Each structure stands twice: as C-alpha cells, then as structure tokens.
Structure 1
Amino acid sequence: MGIGSSLFLIAVGAILYFAVDADISGLEISTVGIILMIIGIIGLVITLFFLGGWRDRRRTVVEERPVARGREYY
C-alpha cells in the first residue's frame, strides 16, 4: 500500500464517518468509515517506515581523487 492509497482510504473513511448520514439495515456507515481510516493510518505508517529504512541503506559515499597527468598542455 502506498502513500496515495493510504491517504485515499483515510479521506473516504473520514467522509463516511463525518459527512454521510444514511441508514442501511445491517450496516453502520460510521463504523465502516472508522475502519477505513484506521486501515489507512496503519498503511501510511508502514509505508513511511519502509521508505525511511530504504533511504538510509542506499547512501553511498563518493570519494573524489585528484587526477594527475604526465604531460603539459600547450
């Protein structure tokens, strides 16, 4: 799950929880909204954890050495 899909789940869950006021028999829309927000937050935390871990491991140190040539330029 990426950052975009996590933010999408959080947004849809917030809309269902705060804005929708419909009644469906056997289904609480506010509960579905809370579940979607929790899943989105967990996915966002996991995604940021893995992105932060990979970024630190891929650092490479480039050492520049001076190049000396044995001939003169005219």
Structure 2
Amino acid sequence: MTIAGGIILIMLGAILTWAVEFDIAGLDINVVGVILMLGGLAGLLFGIYRISVARRAVAPTTTIIEDPVTQRRVYEERRPTDPPLV
C-alpha cells in the first residue's frame, strides 16, 4: 500500500464515520469507518517506513584512482542512480 492509498482509506473512513447517517441492517457504518481509518493509518505508516528503508539501502561506491605522474589519489563517490560516465 502506498502513502496515497493510506490517505484515501483514512479519508473514506472519516466520511463513513462522521458524514454518513444511514443504517444498514446488521452493519454499523461508524465501525466500518473506524476500521478503514485504522487500516489507512497502518498503511500510511508502512509506506513511510518502506520509503525510509529504501533510501538507506542506496550506499555510494567509492573508487580510488591513483595518478602515476603526480602520485595523487583521487576519490570518487557514485550512487547507483547517477548517470554513467562517458
């Protein structure tokens, strides 16, 4: 579930809980709304957690290049999402 899906479930649950005023035999609309809001909150928190884990998983790679003429070391850090060098 994405963050947008969680927000949509929270909004739908809030509408069913506080804005709808009809009764269905054997079904409480307010309880269904609260369940949808809790499910949307769980989905929202899971989506935020998944994004934070994915951002931490991308680690830069370090390349050390030694120039034989000047005896210098050049450190280059690249991420997997950087465009390739030509």
Shorter-chain TM-score category?
0.7 to 0.9
Which runs of no fewer than 5 residues in structure 1 stay unpaired?
68-74
% identity of equivalent residues: 36
How high is the TM-score relative to the length of structure 2? 0.69
SS of the equivalent of 2:7 reads: helix
More helix by share: 1
The structure whose RCO (Cα within 8 Å, separation 6+) is larger is: 1
How high is the TM-score relative to the length of structure 1? 0.79
Aligned to 2:14: 14
Q: Distance in 1 between matches of 2:63 and 2:33?
A: 52
Which runs of no fewer than 5 residues in structure 2 stay unpaired?
68-86
SS of the equivalent of 1:22 reads: coil
More strand by share: 2
Aligned pair count? 69
Structure 1 segments, 4+ long, off by >4 Å, are: 61-65
SS of the equivalent of 1:46 reads: helix
Task: Supply the RMSD in Å over aligned alpha carbons.
Answer: 2.1
Change (3 A) 1:24 1:59: same
Cα deviation, residue 59, structure 1: 3.3
